[in-house]
Amino acid sequence: MGCPAKQIFALVDVNNMYISCERVFNPRLRDRPVVVLSNNDGCSVARPNEVKALGVPMGAPWFQMRDLARQHGIVGLSSNYTLYADMSNRIMTILRTYSPNVEVYSIDESFLSLSGLGGGCGLRR
């Protein structure tokens, strides 16, 4: 008798996607407080833990952060959606090498089917 069929999925969520993409090509931004701003540099659409710790909420307008930015050295970056889409495509391509069944949920999230990849019954630990 074979093993009962189990469906096992993994959720892959890139941590601070926009910030991470920016840091790949600009290593000086690592461990610095950075925000990525919406179109026309209006509001924060991405902020790493360093900025969250300063109390900056998601969607905070840049003009309201300027004093805090000067005080703490927060770098405000214009969004680069072409870069983020390219990096997302690269990530999804890599994930497809681990599972033929990848369901892309958003630019930085996907579900991978891990069913049947462990050999025998269930996944190896």
The set of catalytic residues is 109
Q: Could you give the angle at which helices 17-25 and 81-96 cross, rounded to 10 degrees?
A: 100
Residue length, the chain? 125
Q: Are strands 75-78 and 34-37 parallel, antiparallel or unpaired?
A: parallel
At which residue do the structure tokens 């991405």 appear?
Answer: 46
Angle at 67 between CA 64 and CA 69, to 5 degrees: 95
Angle at 54 between CA 52 and CA 55, to 5 degrees: 70
